[in-house]
Amino acid sequence: MTGGELFVECLKAQGVEVIFGMPGGHLDPVYEALHNNRDAIRYYVGRHEGGCAFMADGYARTTGEVGVCMTVPGPGSNNASIGIGEAYTACSPVLLVTGQNPSYLAKKDPGKMFHGLDQTAAFAPMTKHIELVHNVREIPGAVNRAFSALRSGRPKPVLIELATDALYASADDLPVPPRNNGIRPGAGPETIREALQLIDKSERPFILAGGGIHHARATAELIEFATLLNAPVATSAMAKGVIPEDSPYSVRVFRSSATQAAMEESDLLIAIGTRFTYRDTSNWSMQIHQPLLHIEADAAEINRDYPATVGIGADAKVVLQQLNAELRQGKRADGWGGRLAELHGQAASADRSRVIEELRDAMPRDAILAVDVHMTGYAALHDFTVYEPGRYIFSGISVAMGIGLPAAIGAQVAHPDRKVVALCGDGGFLMNSPDLATAVKYNLPVVTIVMNDNAFTSIEQTQVRRFGASLGVKLANPDFVKFAESFGAIGFRVEDESDFKPTVEKALTLDQPSVIEVVKS
């Protein structure tokens, strides 16, 4: 067994079933092993490493499992950094595997080497953990530690760098570690008692659920918690869908005036699995006047932006199970006075985009929507109703254009039985549009909607407001129908808004990739 074969055996033991990437000579022993294990691990080649990282992210967000992206070092990993940076801000468990020159060159200047890059320095700000493998005997431990980091606490990307000589070396006597499920601590009895005392004193608790609910796969526990407290639940932007938005307890994404008014009326804020990001707090201008119970896997986030009356640095699922077990013993009065239905209706009653409403109507309940950065996409955060966790993908913090199509591809690979739609602007779509070839190559029936107004419209609007003109925002676009057809996909054009919904419905019946250009005046 070579180091490359050992590495693949270690990935298999960790439950890896899919890898997205672009090949190169540094990792040939790994590719040989993947070829020999192609029934166990499926490999998808993309057209740009940045797109491959977005694919791994889409896979991770819709499954809760680790998404894997593999590149050569230097330009390959550097290209992937856009997707890794996105996964870092989105707290997505993405593993970037990259090669490196032989270990005897480790102390040489990487700026003078073939595919040279100091990947530790480059990726330290956007990863949770880095493993550098210089010797074949280091492979099992490196993989084990990497997956422990990926599956413990709040997930973020991890990098494994593999020196070429370690992959060619003999590894016959090295054991393969079993699956590492990470560490998922609960809260101590005294902390649970303090949290329950805080809850008992409140009449109108309000729950703010963050992405940590999805990471911990704690939707069922969250719904039971809300039921036991008879409390409304808002989600952070990155947690959209962790409670069904048609649930009577849901007041949707925490940015609407109705949702914020409900929080203001509450006498206890229970924040679970959220970091209080700039987007959810209006650049931290939000005030919290009531007591705060903050439950967060990353203990460093507690008291960072808002002081917690009680803070619990532990896994959301485990803590909710602990709290629910105690709350089941008693019955609470309804401090909200039977107004949950009213709060739910207020949160859902805002004027909605017709395009988003018709898109929702056309898509099955369990379909997945990957939203790129554009004007219609911004509206989707509030207007598109989501019923399950991991069914809505967008760049909510770093706001990275180009995520739509490749993230949808990753989601479609993860869920071949579900309908997947990418909602893009013309600018963002063309950033990673070559991955239409990836969708066609693997017969992934992703429906890509391109809202085409031949401009970076949101940027144009801010420029016009600032200095009364615009620069660098007008675009020259291809004929998107012919463009799609040139890849072997099916192209549609919608010029009359009445044709939008039936066109989407038709595209969703196809068993091959399609592109719908929506012409906007």
More confident residue, 488 or 255: 488
Write the pLDDT tens digit of every residue in 405-422.
Answer: 999 999 999 999 999 999
Domain that holds residue 476: 354-519
290: pLDDT strictly greater than 90: yes
- Number of domains observed in the structure of the chain: 3
pLDDT at position 349 is 63
- E strand residue ranges, 245-374: 250-253, 268-272, 292-295, 310-312, 368-371
Domain-ending residue, one of 135, 168, 201: 168
Residue in this structure with the two tokens 């929702």, named with its chain if needed: 360
H/E run at residue 460: helix 457-467
> Same structural domain for residues 103 and 202?
no
Split at pLDDT 50, 70, 90, the class of 163 is very high
CATH of the domain at 361: 3.40.50.970
> Same structural domain for residues 164 and 195?
no
Give burial (CB, 10 Å; 0-12/13-18/19+) of 80: buried
Write the pLDDT tens digit of every residue in 72-108.
Answer: 999 999 999 999 999 999 999 999 999 998 888 778 8
For range 45-73, the mean pLDDT? 97
Cβ atoms 19, 96 nearer than 8 A: no
Split at pLDDT 50, 70, 90, the class of 350 is low
Domain-ending residue, one of 348, 377, 397: 348
> Same structural domain for residues 193 and 147?
no
Confirm whether 340 is domain-assigned.
yes
453: pLDDT strictly greater than 90: yes
Average pLDDT of the chain? Answer: 95
Confirm whether 177 is domain-assigned.
no
Find the distance separating the first CA and the last CA of the chain, reported in whole Å: 61
> Same structural domain for residues 199 and 122?
no
Confirm whether 179 is domain-assigned.
no
> Same structural domain for residues 72 and 162?
yes
pLDDT at position 250 is 95
Nearest alpha carbon to residue 354 among 154, 146, 144, 500? 500
Residue 211 has phi, psi (to 5 degrees) of -60, -20
Write the pLDDT tens digit of every residue in 4-15.
Answer: 999 999 999 999
> Same structural domain for residues 114 and 217?
no
For range 238-264, the mean pLDDT? 92
CATH of the domain at 232: 3.40.50.1220
398: pLDDT strictly greater than 70: yes
> Same structural domain for residues 387 and 402?
yes
